[in-house]
Chain A
Amino acid sequence: MTNDKSVSKFAISRRGLLAASAAGATGLALGFPSPALSQGAPLKVGLMLPSSGTFAKLGQFIDNGFSLYVEQKGGMLGGRPVEFIRLDDESKPETATDNMNRLVGRDKVDFVVGTVHSGVAMAMVKVARDTGVPLIIPNAGADEATGPLCAPNIFRTSFSNWQVSEPMGKVMHYVGHRNVVSITWRYAAGIQMAKGFAEGFTKAGGTVVEELTLPFPEVEFQAMITRIAQLKPDAVFAFFAGGGAVKFVTDYAAAGLQGKIPLYGTGFLTDGTLPAQGAAAEGIRTTLHYADDLNNPANVAFLEAFKKKTGQVGDIYAVQGFDAAALLDVGLTATKGDSAARDAMFAVMGSAKLDSPRGPLAFSAAHNPIQDIYLREVRQGKNTLVSVASKGVADPARGCKMT
Chain B
Amino acid sequence: MAAMFATALFLPLVVGDYYLQFAAKVMLLGILAMSLNLNVGFGGMVSLCHAAFFGLAGYVLVLVTPEYEAPNLVWTLLVALAVVALVAAVIGALSLRTRGIYFIMVTLAFGEMLYFLFHDTSIGGGSDGIFLYVKPLLTLGGLSIDLENPLTFYMVALVCCALSWALITHLLASPFGDSLTAARDNERRAMSLGIPVFAVRLVAFIVSAVMAGLAGYLSAAQFGFVAPQMLGWHMSAVALVMVVLGGTRKVAGPLFGAVVLVVLEDILKIYLGEQWKLVYGGVIVALVLFLPGGLQDILRLTLPQGWFRRTAPVTQPIVVGGKQ
Contact = CB atoms under 8 A, between A and B. Distances in A.
B120 interface: yes
Contact of B129 (A88, A93, A106): A93
26 contacts: A1-B146, A8-B16, A9-B17, A51-B274, A88-B269, A88-B274, A93-B225, A93-B227, A94-B227, A94-B230, A97-B223, A102-B18, A123-B131, A123-B223, A126-B225, A185-B127, A186-B120, A186-B126, A188-B125, A188-B126, A188-B128, A215-B116, A215-B126, A215-B127, A216-B127, A217-B127
A2 interface: yes
A219 B273 CA distance: 30
A4 B131 contact: no
- Which 9 pairs between the two chains have the least Cβ-Cβ distance? A105-B18, A94-B227, A119-B128, A97-B223, A215-B120, A216-B127, A94-B229, A93-B227, A188-B128
Contact of A119 (B18, B21, B127): B127
Interface in A203-232: 215-217
Interface in A317-365: none
Contacts of B230: 94
B112 to A, nearest CB: 13
Nearest to B223: A97
Main secondary structure of the interface of B (DSSP, over half): helix
Interface in A1-55: 1-2, 4-5, 8-9, 51-52
Contact of A186 (B17, B122, B225): B122
A101 B18 contact: yes
Contact of A9 (B18, B128, B146, B227): B18
Chain A interface category by residue count: 20 to 34
Contact of A187 (B18, B127, B146, B225): B127
Interface string A356-394: 000000000000000000000000000000000000000
B139 interface: no
Given A94-B227, A97-B224, A215-B120, A2 B148 contact: yes
A188 B25 CA distance: 28
Contact of B224 (A86, A88, A126, A188): A126
B293 interface: no
A9 B18 CA distance: 8
Contacts of A171: none
Contacts of A185: 127
Task: Report the contact-size class of chain B (Cβ under 8 Å from the partner).
Answer: 20 to 34
Interface string A92-111: 11101110011001100000
A149 B58 CA distance: 22
B314 to A, nearest CB: 26
Contacts of A119: 127-129, 227
Contacts of B250: none
Interface string A300-324: 0000000000000000000000000
Contacts of B273: 51, 86, 88
Contacts of B225: 93-94, 96-97, 123, 126
Contacts of A9: 17-18
Given A9-B18, A52-B274, A97-B224, A215 B128 contact: no
A186 B128 CA distance: 9
Interface in B20-78: 21, 25
Contacts of B21: 101, 105
> Interface on chain A toward B: helix, strand, loop, or mixed SS?
helix
A105 B17 contact: yes
Contacts of B122: 186
Interface string B7-19: 0000000001111
Nearest to A108: B18
Contacts of B274: 51-52, 88
Contact of B223 (A8, A98, A122): A98
Interface string A213-253: 00111000000000000000000000000000000000000
A51 B146 CA distance: 36
A67 interface: no
Nearest to B132: A126
Contacts of B269: 88
A5 B127 contact: no
Contacts of B25: 98
Contacts of A122: 128, 131
B313 interface: no
A50 to B, nearest CB: 10
Nearest to A119: B128
B48 to A, nearest CB: 18
Nearest to A189: B128
A106 B148 contact: no
Interface in B236-290: 269, 273-274
Contact of A94 (B16, B17, B126, B129): B129
A123 B132 CA distance: 11
B219 to A, nearest CB: 10
B126 A187 contact: yes
Given A88-B274, A126-B225, A186-B120, A216 B126 contact: yes
A213 to B, nearest CB: 10
B149 interface: yes
Given A123-B131, A215-B116, 13 more contacts: A4-B148, A9-B17, A51-B273, A52-B274, A86-B273, A88-B273, A94-B226, A101-B21, A102-B18, A105-B17, A119-B128, A215-B119, A215-B120
